[in-house]
Amino acid sequence: MTFWLAYKMLFGNIKRAIFPFLGVLCGIISLIMTLSLGAGGESIINTNLSAIGDNRIMIGGNSFNQRDIRILENYPFVEYALFPKARSYTDDNIYIGYPERVFDILDLPHLNDREVIVDKNQFENVKVGDTLELSIGTYRDRFLIKGLYEEKNPLELMRKGNRIIVSQDTYERIFGERNFSEIVISFEKGEDAEEYIPIILNKFRQDRGLYGDIQLLETPEVYKRIEKIKNIVSMTLGILSVISLGIGGLGIMNLIGSNIRSRTGHMGILRAMGMSSKDMVIMFITEGVIISFIGSIVGLILGIIFSVFVGKVINIYPVFSFGDIFISLVISLVVGIVMGSIPAVKAGEKNTIELLREI
């Protein structure tokens, strides 16, 4: 009887219920957009920051070649090694040479001679399997497009020229460069590169033999600062999510409290007709649960739609973790209902005469 009465009183006056419903609806939409767009933004930030500051060092010497790459990649703590200067700009194209191991790290197909991988944002009208005629000075040749990729390093995106990735062997054949003065050595993300610096320098000197001295040019300090920034970003987004949960819970509490304040006279009549204070509290909480549940379902659907739309406008693809969204909705509802039961209980403690005076 109590639940039926709560339903009839709620939907018997839609105008009174619409504003609390809109309050819950807006709160849930805000929560979904905060979680999804926040996660999408965090993913972009982490990707770009990681691209700027890898866990790596750079060493220099008189002359390095692919033999040195193979020596370094045999060390168990080395993820990959490459020549940062294995790139050439010509005819508005940037040719980048990568050793074999780098293609595995970037999840790109391995390349043979006259095969290339191009940036899909710069070569919009090509697809894998097409041929591309390229000019390199007076040299012209046709290359098979073996793969497409999307450059995410913001520093790389600032460079002028169309990015074309070739194998290290192809790069050396085309440009005639086989010796380089610098090598970048990358370590796994969880490794402390600082500990490996003396090992790398000593071991590499021994394994190279009499091929000239080497020196440390760059340490992973940038990587460590980037990791701190990423942690701050994650913490900030977590705080925003907690604030959104709190706002949702306060909205539900305000919904129940406003219903009680607007119907004090009705409560007196119901008490005079014999309704107990316990049933009255249950009735108001039930109304809050009904509006909150319906508002949450509709808000969830609209929140996903708005997140996708806004994400396209601001170029942030939303990341939906439905487990996190579900838990957040449940917490918001539980907090709101628990907090909303406080004014309901206080109202139920009033005697019938006090309530009837409000008519």
Q: Judge whether residue 68 has pLDDT over 80.
A: yes
Query: Around 300, how many Cα atoms within 13 Å sit in the side-chain half-sphere?
Result: 17
Q: Rounded to the nearest 5 degrees, what angle is found at the Cα of 289, between the Cα atoms of 355 and 321?
A: 150
pLDDT band at residue 146 using 50, 70 and 90 as cut-offs: very high
In sequence order, the 6+-apart residues with CB closer than 8 A to the CB of 254 are 23, 340
255: Cα within 13 Å, side-chain hemisphere: 34
**For 273-316, what is the HEC assignment?**
CCCCHHHHHHHHHHHHHHHHHHHHHHHHHHHHHHHHHHHHHHCC
Alpha helices in the chain (DSSP H): 2-11, 14-52, 66-73, 100-105, 154-157, 168-175, 193-208, 221-262, 264-272, 277-314, 322-348, 352-356
Identify the residue with better confidence: 86 or 334. Answer: 86
The pLDDT tens digits for 172-200 are 999 989 999 999 888 877 777 777 788 88
The pLDDT, as a whole number, for residue 13 is 60
pLDDT at 95 over 90: yes
- pLDDT of 245 > 70? The answer is no
Q: Is the pLDDT of residue 208 over 80?
A: yes
Residue 72's pLDDT is 92
pLDDT greater than 70 at residue 356: no
Give the model confidence (pLDDT) of 133-143 as tens digits: 888 767 788 99
Per the DSSP assignment, residues forming a β-bridge with 148 are 118
- What confidence tens digit (pLDDT) does each residue in 278-323 have? 777 777 777 777 777 777 788 888 888 988 888 888 777 788 877 7
Residue 277 confidence class, pLDDT cut points 50, 70, 90? low
How many CA atoms are closer than 13 Å to the CA of 45, on its beta-carbon side? 17
Q: What is the DSSP letter of 75?
A: S
| Length of the chain measured in residues | 359
| Predicted TM-score (pTM) of this structure | 0.55
pLDDT > 70: percent of the chain: 63
- Determine the Cα–Cα distance for residues 261 and 23; give it in Å rounded to an integer: 17
Query: For the CA atoms of 288, 289, 290, 292, what is the dihedral angle to 10 degrees?
Result: 80
pLDDT at 96: 93
pLDDT, the chain, mean: 77
Q: Which pLDDT score is estimated for 10?
A: 59
Q: Residue 200: what residue type? A: I
Q: What is the pLDDT of residue 347?
A: 64
Query: Which residues, including other chains, have CB under 8 Å from residue 140's CB and lie 6 or more apart?
Result: 133, 134
pLDDT tens figures, 209-228: 766 678 887 766 655 666 66
Please report, for the chain, the start and end positions of each structural domain, with discontinuous segments joined by +. Answer: 2-47+227-356, 56-220
